Amino acid sequence: MSDVWRNIVDFFERFPYLEALAIVALFMVLAKLFDRLLTGFLRRLVNRSKTEFDDKLLELMHRPIFTTVALVGLILATYRLDLGLALETRTVLVVQTILVIVWVVFVLRFFRLLLGTMKRSSDRFGIVQPSTEPLFSNAAAVVFFIAGVYMVLLIWDINVTGWVASAGIVGLALSFAAQDTLSNLFAGVAILSDRPYEIGDFISLDSGERGEVTNIGLRSTRLLTRDDVEVSIPNGIMGATKIVNEAGGPPRQFRIGASVGAAYGSDIDEVEAILTGVGESHPLTLPDPEPRVRFRRFGDSSLDFELLCWIERPVDRGLVLHELNSEIYRRFAANGIKIPFPQQDVYIKELPSTGPRDQETREPRSRRNGH
């Protein structure tokens, strides 16, 4: 058996190009075998999971694993050809460059796969949304491309000090030129990660804007006001202002209050029953929590009550409050309950005369002039 192997080796040594071709073919077979063994072992491990992420990751690993092993065989075959030091060095550098490109592409595809998985689980990873996924994907592509170029330059022994300094100067100039844009961009990422409000929430700002959130972008947030006017607010402002989320908190319902005064002497039990009936009969008020009435205070001219109701959407607040107030007025009038209002009576009182001088001042002008 050893003689047969020695004869095969002697045969290939007489034909170096055939030997190099045999090495390449052998490593192609080894690459395929190694790929199957490794991915098969990993597949047995990931079959226990219920997600598609690991299955897609295994599909991505086939090409870089196979290419790496095959290129190692190509390097060994190059050394067996004895092409000279310069040509061998260049061939090895080219192979290393190809390896860098293959693995940079793999890492980029892996990152995009990870982003897609995080986007589908946006309840756990709030920062990755359909609107932010392109940003992270493009940013990763730029970073990995720069890293790949940097490694290729190192492989070819090219001085990168000047390139790095130039890139730093250009980046500094761009950061100053796009300061507002970058501020809005970072604020948008912070809003998407912190999630002080979501699409569909009804929010109010310190500046007076109030409306429903229709879009949360990387540069701005859009609100649809009750006048059906869309307002676009830069995220830099949204990140620095006080925001009241009327649809936020654990209970998603929105509470409204209709205040009314009843005249002193009114039956407070009857007033409470009427107000409760108004709240329960409205089609947009929720049965849970149920409407309730509170006797707030003894006013200057009335007994002040407040009807508290909950509605599903904050955007309906104005309409529901209008209809509740209208129905309260009608039912109070039908049941003889007066709604007092402040009144002021002005009395003009004439001062009594105190002497002849005052009498003289009251005489007609014609008499004082001697006519």
Q: Average pLDDT for consecutive 10-residue bins of the chain (371 residues)?
A: 59 68 86 85 74 83 90 86 80 92 94 86 70 77 90 87 74 72 82 83 89 87 90 92 81 86 95 96 93 94 95 90 96 95 76 57 48 42
pLDDT of residue 13: 63
Structure token pair of residue 258? 């209709």
Helix intervals (H) in the chain: 2-14, 16-46, 53-81, 85-120, 133-155, 161-177, 179-194, 235-238, 268-281, 317-334, 356-362, 365-368
Length of the chain as a residue count: 371
Instruction: Report the pLDDT value the prediction gives residue 151, as an integer from 0 to 100.
Output: 92
> What pLDDT was estimated at residue 357?
55
Check residue 349 and give its pLDDT: 74
Give the separation between CA 185 and CA 363, rounded to whole angstroms.
83
3-class DSSP assignment, residue 311: strand
**Pairing relation of β-strands 220-224 and 230-234?**
antiparallel
At 180 the pLDDT is 83
Token pair of 291 as six digits:
């409407």
Look at residue 281 in the predicted model and tell me its pLDDT: 95
CA distance 5 to 1: 6
Position 263 scores a pLDDT of 95
Q: Give the integer Cα–Cα distance in Å for 329 and 336.
A: 11
How high is the pLDDT of residue 14? 63
What torsion do the CA atoms of 10, 16, 22, 27 make, to the nearest 10 degrees? 110
CA gap 219, 103 in Å, rounded? 33
- What are the phi and psi torsion angles at 369 (to 5°)? -85, 0
Nearest alpha carbon to residue 314 among 238, 260, 251, 235: 251
Q: How many CA atoms lie within 13 A of 219 on its CB side?
A: 5
Q: What is the pLDDT of residue 19?
A: 75
- Check residue 336 and report its DSSP letter: T
> Which of 294, 289, 223 is closest to 250 using CA atoms?
289
- pTM score, whole prediction: 0.58
Amino acid letter, 263: A
- From the list 196, 227, 195, 198, the residue with the least C-alpha distance to 211 is 227
Distance CA 339, CA 344 (A): 16
Predicted confidence at residue 367, as pLDDT, reads: 45
Neighbours of 211 (CB within 10 A): 23
Please, are residues 118 and 192 in contact by the beta-carbon 8 Å criterion? no
| Rounded Cα distance, 194 and 238, in Å | 12
- Cα 124 from Cα 129, distance rounded (Å): 11
57 contacts 45 by C-beta, under 8 angstroms: no
